[in-house]
Structure 1
Amino acid sequence: MTSPEPPVLVIGECVADIVRTDGAPDRVHPGGSPANVAYGLARLGRPAMLLTELGPDANGRLIRAHLESAGVVVRAAEAARTPSAVVRLDGLGRAEYTFDIGWTLPPTDPTDPYPTDPTEPAVAPAAIHLGSIGAVAEPGAAAVLARVERWRGRAPVSYDPNVRPALMGERAEAVRRVERCVALSDVVKASDEDLAWLYPDERPEAVAERWLALGPAVVAVTLGAEGAFALTAEGGYVRAAAVPVPVADTVGAGDSFTAAFLDARAAGTGLPGCLTRAVTAAALTVSRPGANPPSAAELAAALARYDDYDDHDDAGAR
């Protein structure tokens, strides 16, 4: 009998996104960057497990049902309440967030499928993904990093800082925490907005090169309507244009990019193909409301439909 494929273990927060626009009733969408990545991976057919916290409330039940509907295995410690964020959309569909979030993931928990004690399972997860608030907000961040350090070397690690300035504290300390996560990772994805807050007045390419020196093999940076680029530790440079679509909103677009990039990389796809799949998945997400990533079939159809926009450029060594 064949053993089941180990999942990608995603560690981090769930958030109930309360989307608010003028003249319309509030809409509640399941969200949270790590939760969105786990959901996106499962939608693409990649086994995914989310280690998180949820409250015993309606938002917690909504989020769990949403994740499980895609096949995500949810392992949640109980929080006093499920985190939430009011999401205000501007006229271009861009999102601004006001958060009500705590993150207190315990060092060990009965629901933890990969505990940090010596009795943990012998089989490593297929990969580990961390990011956003859960990777830097204490006291839970210490528990996240302990798990990553425990499995590092036996499973590839990916990281998306998904910077939320209102929750990051003083910038210098935030940079220190983010760079610690970068140094633990094999693949790092960030947005140009993340980098602009962390390192004002520095070019995204310069930051990506500095991050590569900390240890990752690949750093990918999304550029909104300008597409995305990726640098490798070997000096490779790949760029992909954005796929032009009508924008409903930008909620979850970066997380869809991350899920598609990681899924393609796990399948052995080369870096240009990973980037093309990722920007296409992000385009599908912005074309419809909320953090709604594509299924594998939707992504395949979009890649065929938008093939004319696949103009990645592998420029080789820098």
Structure 2
Amino acid sequence: MTRDDVTADLIAPRALVVGEALVDVVRRTDGSVAEHPGGSPMNVAIGLGRLGRGVDLLTWLGADARGDAVRRHLEASDVGVLTGDTSPASTSVATANLDAVGVATYDFDLAWDLPGRWDKPVVDPLVVHTGSIAAVLEPGSSAVVRLVLAHRASSTITYDPNLRPALMGTPEATRPRVEALVALSDVVKVSDEDLEWLHPGVAPSDIAEEWARLGPGLVVVTHGGDGALACTAAGVRLAVPAPRVEVADTVGAGDSFMAGLIDGLWSAGLLGADRRGALADVDAATLQRVLARCARIAAITVSRAGANPPSSSELGEDRP
């Protein structure tokens, strides 16, 4: 055994999140404008960090003031940022336009790629998560698929399409890319709105069951304030309600649910490629418990402004 092997054995398992980190410019109906770090994969990494998980984010940030703000935001939640050999000319921007009830629609000024080389973690990640723009927008999306393929032998793969029609073209053009990643994934979380755009008029439960036959052990569909439904490759079907809260806005709600899902499966001992069979065979009671906690995490997020997921201490959990 080499010294590197010994070092790896002593390091706690970590998650690797791959995808965009950017700046959200939030415009409200009262005319106010605010800027804060955003991006779906980044939000998932933040959520995991706040829940006490070791997590690294592989992204593509500009060497500018906005990029520095994103890095500080990540570091404040104990997220490691993997440094690459290239960067964009400027940090990407997403403008979130909130309606009267706080629901966001987005406009984007961004480019997406992965650096050719980056500082890889010392140990293979227990779980690799990706989704949203990073999984669809070239040239970076092809690199994301290659990275997922490289880690499937050792890691659980999780995926949230988190679609952005303004960037992704037509459903017909986007669907093959999404379903290719679904087939490579062990866990897929998707919103009912995404499924309606991809497959208009088809029941979300029907699509979830079809996707569960493509490869994932678990598919979860979120329905906003109406909770979530899940199906497994082994045939478990269940639904969980969403807690009733006063909604500030929905920014980051799905991302915090996704972080909670990864974290909950982690606590249940269902992550890692060697646990792929156990994940597909997860029992209803365990899945119900995991999803109820995810719904609670998302409810806390929507109760306050912006993508601001809770920490484990806010959930009343005592973690080191």
Q: TM-score, normalised by structure 2?
A: 0.88
Instruction: Find the counterpart in structure 1 of residue 71 from structure 2.
Output: 64
Q: Which of structure 1's runs of 4+ aligned residues deviate more than 2 A? A: 22-25
Paired residue type of 1:282? A
Partner of 2:278: none
Matched, 1:176 2:191: no
Please give the secondary structure, in 2, of the residue aligned with 1:59. helix
Tell me the secondary structure at the aligned position of residue 225 of structure 2: helix
**CA offsets 1:87-116 (integer angstroms, 9 cap, x no match):** 11111110011111110214x31x2416xx
1:81 to 74, 87, 90: 90
Q: CA separation in 1, counterparts of 2:216 and 2:189?
A: 10
1:23 Cα deviation after fit: 3.1
2:305 aligned residue: 289
Give 1:280's match in structure 2, choosing from 284, 290, 296.
Answer: 296
Matches within 5 A, 1:111-190: 111-113=118-120, 123-190=123-190
Letter of the aligned partner of 1:255 in structure 2?
D
> 1:22: Cα distance to partner?
3.0
What percent of counterpart residues are identical? Answer: 49
Alignment check: 8 A CA contact 1:54 1:76 kept = no
The answer to whether the 8 Å contact 2:212/2:232 transfers is: yes
Which residue number corresponds to residue 314 of structure 1? none
What is the distance in 2 between the residues matched to 1:169 and 1:16? 22
Cα shift at 1:76: 4.0
The aligned counterpart of 1:46 is 53
Equivalent residue for 1:8?
Answer: 15
* CA distance in 2 between partners of 1:49 and 1:149 (Å): 18
Q: Note closer, same or farther for the CA distance 1:275–1:43 as it changes in structure 2 (3 Å cut).
A: same
Number of residues of Structure 1 aligned to a counterpart in Structure 2:
292
- Residue aligning to 2:29: 22
Instruction: Give deviations 1:123-158, integer Å, cap 9, x for gaps.
Output: 321110010000111100111111110110210000
Do the aligned partners of 1:277 and 1:299 also contact (CA within 8 Å) in 2?
no
- Which residue identity is paired with 1:286? V
What amino acid is aligned across from residue 57 of structure 1 in structure 2?
A: D
Q: If the length of structure 1 is used for normalisation, what is the TM-score? A: 0.89
- The answer to whether the Cα contact below 8 Å between 1:104 and 1:140 also exists between their aligned partners in 2 is yes
**Could you tell me which residue of structure 2 aligns to residue 209 of structure 1?**
209
Q: Which residue is equivalent to 1:312? A: none
User: Secondary structure in 2 aligned to 1:300?
Assistant: coil
Whether the 8 Å CA contact 1:242–1:279 is kept in 2: the answer is yes
